[in-house]
A = this chain, B = another copy of it.
Amino acid sequence: MAFSEFRPLDENSLIEYIKATPSLSSKIVDNYDGLKIKEVGDGNLNFVYIIVGPSGSFVIKQALPYVRLIGESWPMTKERAYFEALALKQHGALCPEHVPEVYHFDRTMSLIGMRYLEPPHIILRNGLIAGIEYPLLAEHMSEYMAKTLFCTSLLYRSTTEHKRAVAEFCGNVELCRLTEQVVFSDPYKVSEYNRWTSPYLDRDAETVREDNLLKIEVAELKSKFCERAQALIHGDLHTNPEFAFYGPMGFDIGAFIGNLILAFFAQDGHAGQGNDRKWILKTIEDTWNLFHQKFTALWDEHKNGSGEADLPAIYNNTELQKLIQEKYMKELFHDTLGFGAAKMIRRIVGVAHVEDFESIKEANIRAHCEQRALELGKTLLKRRREFVSISEVISAMKHVQS
């Protein structure tokens, strides 16, 4: 450990820290000539530095004891870095091909050193905005979600392992509280933090706050988010897993699919670039279908393992095994749509917005895109149980968009 007590790093003290930390200095072979350090934290919470030297590179992420987007007036435990490192390591062990390696963790400093994905890698959201197609996105994301969610659930784990892990991640309560507030509460009430594309969406935001059916449904999802320890979920499946805890699987799958839907509707604001948005529809469809396929394949493969939920001595015939999988996957599909919709709505009328829409300069065009996304989000949240397959979601998207 480089420092004996917490202090926020800057670019100068960061070098000092690296020099004193073998697991980091070895990554750049102790070569500080021409070392480049860049703060890139465009997120809402943390400071993120990219360190690139002639002989290697890594990323440093430090949590400060408040919400960066809001400032010191919104305190937030820096212990979140501990849960992020823990989740990265556990998810990394389950799916090393799609989780960045953790090189170093310092609990005192709330600091993680991890792999830097060098150019041409860019943040997915920026690629989506630029109209780049990612033919392997559904394949990779479904792989990551199927492996991490299945293997941390009671379909794979014993009750003893599960309860121990649930107890540990209960410690990440402040991040859960933050999600409860910004996803499930604030968008549905008057809150100083809410914002939207005004004046175009003034009436839309008000309509959200007056929609009884919508509020009933979001209460059910919030209760599931708070109470159901189904698997170690990422908790914010577009950035980094400091939100990780034991929660409902649909929250992760929904976060990813909901963000793809937002990207789809934002394309109208980036139309000058002549982007083809069909691949986004295909990616949404493939993501769910591949996830379904991979998840049930893992289930079949491990059905004689130590998982507590589906004991082979009880679920002892093919028909019954099929029935129980169908029931589980149907509920997960509806959870996915509900949580995905809640994430869409909060990105339009809540505190934290997405670059997909923010980067549309003309407010009236941005508002038009947002209104369509909001309309679909409300439909999905209120009527999710009526959707039988992901292709019906695609149809609804096309219908709203046309």
Bound-state Cα–Cα, A212 to B180, Å: 38
A162 with B320: in contact, given A185-B314, A215-B315, A313-B189 (CB under 8 Å)?
no
Does A300 touch B at the CB level, under 8 Å? no
Contacts of A220 in B (CB 8 A): 327
Contact between B159 and A308, CB atoms less than 8 A apart? no
Q: Looking at the complex, which one of B154, B177, B230 makes contact with A159 (CB distance below 8 Å)?
A: B177
Does A40 touch B at the CB level, under 8 Å? no
Bound-state Cα–Cα, A48 to B55, Å: 70
Contacts of A219 in B (CB 8 A): 309-310, 314-315, 324, 327
Contact between B189 and A311, CB atoms less than 8 A apart? yes
Minimum CB distance partner of A154 in chain B: B226
Binds B, one of A24-32, A115-123, A163-171, A232-240: A163-171
Bound-state Cα–Cα, A227 to B233, Å: 14
Q: Looking at the complex, which one of B159, B227, B313, B316 makes contact with A180 (CB distance below 8 Å)?
A: B159
Does A329 touch B at the CB level, under 8 Å? no
Contact between A159 and B185, CB atoms less than 8 A apart? no
Contact between B212 and A314, CB atoms less than 8 A apart? no
Q: Is chain A's binding surface mostly helix, strand, loop or mixed?
A: helix
Does A130 touch B at the CB level, under 8 Å? no
Bound-state Cα–Cα, A177 to B163, Å: 10
How many of these chains are in the complex? 2
A216 with B313: in contact, given A173-B163, A228-B227 (CB under 8 Å)?
no
Q: Report the count of interface residues on A (CB-CB < 8 A).
A: 45
Bound-state Cα–Cα, A171 to B323, Å: 33
Could you list some 20 contacts between A and B, CB below 8 A? A154-B223, A159-B177, A159-B180, A159-B226, A160-B177, A166-B166, A185-B311, A185-B313, A189-B316, A212-B320, A215-B314, A216-B320, A219-B314, A219-B327, A220-B327, A222-B309, A223-B309, A227-B230, A228-B228, A228-B229
**Given known contacts A166-B170, A188-B314, what 20 new A-B pairs fall within 8 Å (CB)?**
A154-B223, A154-B227, A159-B173, A159-B176, A159-B226, A163-B170, A163-B173, A163-B176, A164-B170, A164-B173, A167-B167, A189-B316, A212-B323, A215-B314, A216-B320, A216-B323, A219-B327, A220-B327, A223-B309, A228-B228
